[in-house]
Amino acid sequence: MPQPQVAIIMGSKSDWPTMENAAEVLQQLGVEFEVEVVSAHRTPDKLMEFSANAADRGIKVIIGGAGGAAHLPGMVASKTRLPVLGVPVQSKALNGMDSLLSIAQMPKGVAVGTLAIGTAGAYNAGLFAAQILATTNPELAERIESFRTAQTESVLAHPDPRVAE
Amino acid sequence: MPQPQVAIIMGSKSDWPTMENAAEVLQQLGVEFEVEVVSAHRTPDKLMEFSANAADRGIKVIIGGAGGAAHLPGMVASKTRLPVLGVPVQSKALNGMDSLLSIAQMPKGVAVGTLAIGTAGAYNAGLFAAQILATTNPELAERIESFRTAQTESVLAHPDPRVAE
Amino acid sequence: MPQPQVAIIMGSKSDWPTMENAAEVLQQLGVEFEVEVVSAHRTPDKLMEFSANAADRGIKVIIGGAGGAAHLPGMVASKTRLPVLGVPVQSKALNGMDSLLSIAQMPKGVAVGTLAIGTAGAYNAGLFAAQILATTNPELAERIESFRTAQTESVLAHPDPRVAE
Amino acid sequence: MPQPQVAIIMGSKSDWPTMENAAEVLQQLGVEFEVEVVSAHRTPDKLMEFSANAADRGIKVIIGGAGGAAHLPGMVASKTRLPVLGVPVQSKALNGMDSLLSIAQMPKGVAVGTLAIGTAGAYNAGLFAAQILATTNPELAERIESFRTAQTESVLAHPDPRVAE
Amino acid sequence: MPQPQVAIIMGSKSDWPTMENAAEVLQQLGVEFEVEVVSAHRTPDKLMEFSANAADRGIKVIIGGAGGAAHLPGMVASKTRLPVLGVPVQSKALNGMDSLLSIAQMPKGVAVGTLAIGTAGAYNAGLFAAQILATTNPELAERIESFRTAQTESVLAHPDPRVAE
Amino acid sequence: MPQPQVAIIMGSKSDWPTMENAAEVLQQLGVEFEVEVVSAHRTPDKLMEFSANAADRGIKVIIGGAGGAAHLPGMVASKTRLPVLGVPVQSKALNGMDSLLSIAQMPKGVAVGTLAIGTAGAYNAGLFAAQILATTNPELAERIESFRTAQTESVLAHPDPRVAE
Amino acid sequence: MPQPQVAIIMGSKSDWPTMENAAEVLQQLGVEFEVEVVSAHRTPDKLMEFSANAADRGIKVIIGGAGGAAHLPGMVASKTRLPVLGVPVQSKALNGMDSLLSIAQMPKGVAVGTLAIGTAGAYNAGLFAAQILATTNPELAERIESFRTAQTESVLAHPDPRVAE
Amino acid sequence: MPQPQVAIIMGSKSDWPTMENAAEVLQQLGVEFEVEVVSAHRTPDKLMEFSANAADRGIKVIIGGAGGAAHLPGMVASKTRLPVLGVPVQSKALNGMDSLLSIAQMPKGVAVGTLAIGTAGAYNAGLFAAQILATTNPELAERIESFRTAQTESVLAHPDPRVAE
């Protein structure tokens, strides 16, 4: 099995319908990744250990998704020098505003790169992880360029919103 | 030195002007406490160890204050069965709304008792800690009753807001 | 009938689907509790009397759930030295943001320990009440430790979110 | 001393700089009023008694100002059939948004007429109380009409915002 | 036909499912009322005329419901000395937060008594209108007292939320 | 005196420090304008008359600034077919969020073009009014193009933010 | 084919159910328009070119709809001197509050006229575009007056919200 | 001059007091960077060109700061495959909530890694950029580890918030 470069972790199994969007784009771009439930609040020791060891295991970027008082991405970031991307999962009562603020408003000295609330954010977290890896991987950079060109062309090919496809 | 029953911790030295209100009321009520800076993001190992050992050290209640993406109270709660009280410190940009949501919106299974944003919340965290201890300490219960009576009488004694005191 | 140690009260019968989560975890942890509708606005005298007498009746912790302009927990707290936990019930128009602010933003001198909006908050209120009682009840403390261990192990046992259970 | 028709109450002496605006307009309109600090949380018994007796004492309208988790107006309304006007005092952290929601979002069956946050709201509470009394007091109605005409004319007299007065 | 004392107006026919709650409680309390669609934005002249004439037609209180940029209650208030009650109708995108702020945040000198967002607010507007009229109508005051007693007793009669009725 | 093409109105003299930014840019672009205080709530008849007559007087665009429950732009729009631009003045308690929602959230059928909160919004309202007039005024269009080119060049000329000017 | 005077563009085909409301009212008022998908983020070059050329192609007003981090209207405005109207499309997580702020809060020097969130805003954008064109098109002005009269009469014809139509 | 690896751009010179925090940490970590004012709205062509060429010029990561309707980071991201970090500058009226939502809520397919509002976010953007580069630069990784160790030790060295330093 090839070495995963990106780890996608999430606070709960129920975050998977959101977080699978990160997996989808990484797969599409040919980036190896692993997926795991790691709960900041229910499995804090695993979180600490996972975060402390990720770099040594060869992981390059960590994507963490969580909702509500979403502490997962920030706590992972406190234990690794790897870039950590945070996905605010849409929460039931406050629609992810709590998740967004819990993830984005990190204090000086420990950083999390935050994406949008929900599935678009998860998808973009995967894409952003690939963009990070591509800074020193010309082949991946090319695949991202192709992905983007295809995305642009797909929009250009359907300029009239009134036409059914 | 008597055994502290309450631990007041905070993410940063700059939270002390808020958190000293918790200390003030505990002192007034004759409850022993300790005070320490423990940062969830900058000293995560200390946070984990502190939280794991607090009960064994004889601590009964932990008060944690933090601002912004305030993960301290929730992460402490993930490592101890002691009741953890969270004080949302007023943040610069969002006035503590981020702190409040980061502390209060904990997921099912790991609880934090959240107080108001800022100094009133810190004061009330100290009072609430004393109220917890008083559930099995009749003398402290009496001191709280006296404190409350005095508080009530002080308001009753000055019914006219137009009169300078 | 054994003496209840926790009182779960709520502003309206319609809050029960939320508040039964508090009852569920207390039952699971073997804590005796009572359940009652006490409306701050429609039965204020009952609220005052209930709150004034709760400590004498042997109640140790009060859990109050209410939505919208949620005055129940704060008003109970004004009439008892017992720790009062507040559960912001998710409201129709504002999704519980009004409930959260009405409960959490108490002034200096009268404290409410606030939990998350909705069912997670109610569940955690029950858990937090048990945690309070456990500070002087070693057997309950042990049951809480077991509960937490089981919770952790349940997450650890299912690390892959893609696998159906 | 003439019988006051309006009672202006507030949760704390510190609310007076806001609430004196209510007094100012009532005085200007020749409506008798009384002023008192009545704290929902620190003097709940006084609040209950005050509210229960206000109608019998000849009060016709109650104005209550409070900030943060502002329970005063709603709790007064729970104990009297008199119209209760609520003034959300501007709070420190959340600028009165907590006060506004705590006062306005009352449940079905117990009503509070809520005014704007801060001094404008306090002023308008006084005006609104006079408008209520004027529904059956033609002389007061006339004074209000004059007040409004003067207000309109004062704006009309200074149409150019660039001219210093 | 008896003289209506309360006018219930609203910006659009689609507000009726909300506003009929005001009508319901007025009917129950035996207060005569009229109901009409008056749109601030689509029928401004009617609004102005309606507001200017309401007092002369014998109306004592006006209840205005509107959603979104809800200008109806404030504009009515600008043209009458009668007390105007505003009901923020729950809006599609912002759930009535826009309606609430548009109605409550009136400037100094023109007052609107604002109720809660949605059906509870409409119901309470009807109740509040009756409470205003009751300040000089002892029989209505008695009917309101009975209404409130019944409301209280109905809650007291069903203290256990777990029992189906 | 040349015929003004733009009317800048505002709810209160205190809005002038904000609204003078609209005047400034119109002057700079050589567009004739008039300035007047017209209060929706304190001078509703003037507002109605002003709005109804503006088109006949030769006005082409109306700019209205107001804060809090800001009804001015929407009510003007209800009485004229001219394009009405709304400037949400920054309010004291809610920083203009109330002004923004009161102006922007107009119902289907009566439109207001809303600009940003505060001075930037007022400035842009003046600019936008000129842009409207320029759609059929080639000379003004050219002056706007020059204005924009100068603006762009001014930014381009100072690319290094560390250099004092 | 007649020269379109208004261009309706949107960030995604999925915005059409919102934006077709702009088309509907323009059609009703006899204003020629064109419709196209132009994505700020996925087709930025097309956006730049479209915006730079619109005036030369004879377009007079541009309506841009977008949701979430809605950059389309502001970026169009940065490349044209034509008036640009922005429609905040209702977003999934935040109900369009993000769209509204992203569109309305433009900095000094580049203006967007923002309408309400969602379908009402799209409809009003079409109407506002027509109002702009009508400032120098008396026939269109008359059609708008008729449209508004019909709208007013339709409300006046159904004053009783209780009557089914 | 060594090849800069990080570009720090911002919408206005007035953003420098915020953005210099990004420069500070990069300097401290020995990462070469460049600094430039590039305004999305006032210099859109420069933005497009800058973004399109950055990768070819050897830039590896772009940090963009902007306030209000903050389109800069998202528009840069639309024109480059490099990772773009967005810093929401604290805005005057809405304290950066508008900046945060304008930057974070990007649609599926174009990603921005968003940091906290204000100076902490700018600092963390610099740190995060270094963390990205360190994924393939062991020496920089070591410097980051040292930086973090020093940060942790500095907190550990001052555990008592009551002691002046």
CA E30 to each of CA A60, B26, B91, D153, E150: distance values in angstroms, whole numbers, following the listed order: 73, 55, 52, 40, 16
Element at B113 (helix H, strand E): strand B113-114
CA G101 to each of CA B37, C14, G74: distance values in angstroms, whole numbers, following the listed order: 38, 36, 11
**What residues in F contact H42, CB-CB < 8 Å?**
151-152, 155
| Least Cα separation, residue H150 to chain F (angstroms) | 29
* Chains C and B physically touch (3 or more Cβ atom pairs below 8 Å): yes
Spatial contact of D89 and D126, defined as CB atoms under 8 Å apart: no
Can you name the residues that pair with G113 across neighbouring β-strands? G85
**What residues in A contact C116, CB-CB < 8 Å?**
68-69, 93
Burial of residue G3 (number of CB atoms within 10 Å: 0-12, 13-18, 19+): exposed
Question: pLDDT tens digits for F54-88?
Answer: 999 999 999 999 999 999 999 999 999 999 999 99
Question: pLDDT tens digits for C112-147?
Answer: 999 999 999 999 999 999 999 999 999 999 999 999
Interface test with G, best of A90, A155, A160, A165 (most G CBs within 10 A): A155
| Least Cα separation, residue G43 to chain A (angstroms) | 5
d(CA A128, CA B146): 59
| Least Cα separation, residue B157 to chain H (angstroms) | 35
**Chain-chain contact of C107 with D78 (C-beta, under 8 angstroms):** no
Residue A12 in marked binding region = yes
- With b for 16 or more beta-carbon neighbours within 10 A and e for fewer, the E27-58 pattern comes to eebebebbbebbbbbbbbebbbebbeebbeee
**What residues in C contact D67, CB-CB < 8 Å?**
107
Interface of F with E (CB under 8 A): 11-12, 40-42, 44-45, 48, 67-69, 71, 74-75, 77-79, 91, 93-94, 97-98, 101-107, 109-110, 112
Percent of chain G surpassing pLDDT 90:
98
CA G121 to each of CA A156, C61, F109, F132: distance values in angstroms, whole numbers, following the listed order: 26, 50, 9, 19
Q: In what order do the strands lie in the sheet with D6-10?
A: D33-37, D6-10, D61-67, D84-89, D113-114, E113-114, E84-89, E61-67, E6-10, E33-37
Question: Under 8 Å CB-to-CB from D61, ≥6 apart: which residues?
Answer: D5, D6, D7, D82, D83, D84, D85, D129, D132, D133, E135
**What residues in A contact B107, CB-CB < 8 Å?**
11-12, 41, 67-69
Question: Under 8 Å CB-to-CB from G86, ≥6 apart: which residues?
Answer: G64, G65, G66, G70, G72, G73, G74, G103, G104, G112, G113, G114, G115, G125
| pLDDT in the model for residue D165 | 65
CA G58 to each of CA B153, C154, F140, G35, G63: distance values in angstroms, whole numbers, following the listed order: 77, 66, 16, 15, 15
State the distance between the two ends of chain E, measured CA to CA, in whole angstroms.
Answer: 40
Taken in order B141, B142, B145, B150, the sign of the CA dihedral is negative
* Chains A and E physically touch (3 or more Cβ atom pairs below 8 Å): no
**Chain-chain contact of F68 with D120 (C-beta, under 8 angstroms):** yes
pLDDT at G16 over 80: yes
E:G CB pairs within 8 Å: 46
Q: At what angle do helices C119-134 and C16-28 cross, to 10 degrees?
A: 30
Residue C7: which of C79, C67, C99 has the closest Cα?
A: C79
In this structure, the number of other CB atoms found within 10 A of the CB of residue A76 comes to: 30
CA B82 to chain CA centroid, Å, is: 13
> Tokens 């190992």 label which residue?
B45
Q: Spell out where H33-104 has E strands.
A: 33-37, 61-67, 84-89
d(CA F65, CA F36): 11
Q: Which two tokens stand for residue G43?
A: 């087709």
| pLDDT in the model for residue H105 | 98
Question: pLDDT tens digits for D42-95?
Answer: 999 999 999 999 999 999 999 999 999 999 999 999 999 999 999 999 999 999
In this structure, the number of other CB atoms found within 10 A of the CB of residue B121 comes to: 35
CA angle (H46, H47, H49) in 5-degree steps: 65
Percent of chain C surpassing pLDDT 70:
99
d(CA D112, CA D84): 5
Question: pLDDT tens digits for A65-109?
Answer: 999 999 999 999 999 999 999 999 999 999 999 999 999 999 999
**Chain-chain contact of A92 with C118 (C-beta, under 8 angstroms):** yes
DSSP β-ladder status, H113-114 and F6-10 = unpaired
**Chain-chain contact of D109 with C42 (C-beta, under 8 angstroms):** yes
> Tokens 């400590």 label which residue?
C55
DSSP sequence for C92-148: TTTTTHHHHHHHH-PPTTS--EE--SSHHHHHHHHHHHHHHHHTT-HHHHHHHHHHH
Counting DSSP H helices and E strands in chain H, the numbers are 6, 5
pLDDT band at H103 (very low <50, low <70, confident <90, very high): very high
Question: Under 8 Å CB-to-CB from B164, ≥6 apart: which residues?
Answer: none
In this structure, the number of other CB atoms found within 10 A of the CB of residue B147 comes to: 17
Residue G101: which of G84, G85, G82, G117 has the closest Cα?
A: G117
Q: Which two tokens stand for residue E24?
A: 């319901």
| pLDDT in the model for residue H2 | 87
* Residues C39-56, mean pLDDT to the nearest whole number: 98
**What residues in B contact C58, CB-CB < 8 Å?**
none
A159: nearest CA partner in chain G: G37
Residue set of the binding site of B: 12, 15, 42
Of residues D20, D36, D93, nearest to B159 (C-beta): D36
pLDDT band at G165 (very low <50, low <70, confident <90, very high): low
Of residues B19, B46, B68, nearest to H156 (C-beta): B46
Spatial contact of B67 and A35, defined as CB atoms under 8 Å apart: no
State the distance between the two ends of chain G, measured CA to CA, in whole angstroms.
Answer: 40
Residue A120: which of G37, H106, H73, H75 has the closest Cα?
A: H106
**Chain-chain contact of C69 with E116 (C-beta, under 8 angstroms):** yes
| Least Cα separation, residue B25 to chain A (angstroms) | 28
| pLDDT in the model for residue D2 | 87
> Tokens 């502002």 label which residue?
D70
Interface test with D, best of C41, C94, C108 (most D CBs within 10 A): C41
* Residues B112-136, mean pLDDT to the nearest whole number: 98
pLDDT band at A111 (very low <50, low <70, confident <90, very high): very high
Which chains sit next to D, with 3 or more Cβ pairs under 8 A?
B, C, E, F
Residue type, E113: G
Q: Which two tokens stand for residue D158?
A: 């200074």
CA angle (H78, H80, H83) in 5-degree steps: 100
d(CA F110, CA F104): 11
| Least Cα separation, residue D142 to chain E (angstroms) | 9
| pLDDT in the model for residue A164 | 79
Residue E86: which of E69, E66, E109, E68 has the closest Cα?
A: E66
Spatial contact of B99 and B71, defined as CB atoms under 8 Å apart: no
Question: pLDDT tens digits for F145-156?
Answer: 999 999 999 999
- With b for 16 or more beta-carbon neighbours within 10 A and e for fewer, the E12-26 pattern comes to bbebbebbbbbbebb
Q: Spell out where E38-153 has E strands.
A: 61-67, 84-89, 113-114
DSSP β-ladder status, H6-10 and H61-67 = parallel
CA H23 to each of CA A77, H35, H64, H116: distance values in angstroms, whole numbers, following the listed order: 21, 8, 12, 16
| pLDDT in the model for residue B1 | 67
* Mean pLDDT, all residues of chain D: 97
State the distance between the two ends of chain F, measured CA to CA, in whole angstroms.
Answer: 40
pLDDT at C165 over 70: no
**Chain-chain contact of C107 with D79 (C-beta, under 8 angstroms):** no
Q: Which residues in chain E land under pLDDT 70?
A: 1, 165
DSSP, collapsed to helix, strand or coil, labels residue A17 as helix
d(CA D128, CA E82): 9
**What residues in F contact G134, CB-CB < 8 Å?**
81
Residue A42: which of A7, A65, A71 has the closest Cα?
A: A71
ipTM of the complex in this document:
0.97
**Chain-chain contact of A78 with B110 (C-beta, under 8 angstroms):** no
d(CA F6, CA H4): 50
Phi-psi domain of G52 (left: phi exceeds 0; alpha: psi -120 through 50; beta: other):
alpha
**What residues in E contact D145, CB-CB < 8 Å?**
81
**What residues in E contact G116, CB-CB < 8 Å?**
68-69, 93
Of residues D108, D125, D127, nearest to E124 (C-beta): D108
Question: Under 8 Å CB-to-CB from F14, ≥6 apart: which residues?
Answer: none
Q: In what order do the strands lie in the sheet with G113-114?
A: F33-37, F6-10, F61-67, F84-89, F113-114, G113-114, G84-89, G61-67, G6-10, G33-37
**What residues in B contact A71, CB-CB < 8 Å?**
40, 69, 71, 74-75, 102
DSSP sequence for H83-101: -EEEEEEPPTTTTTHHHHH
- With b for 16 or more beta-carbon neighbours within 10 A and e for fewer, the H103-114 pattern comes to bbbbbbbbbbbb
E107: nearest CA partner in chain D: D120
d(CA H112, CA H77): 7
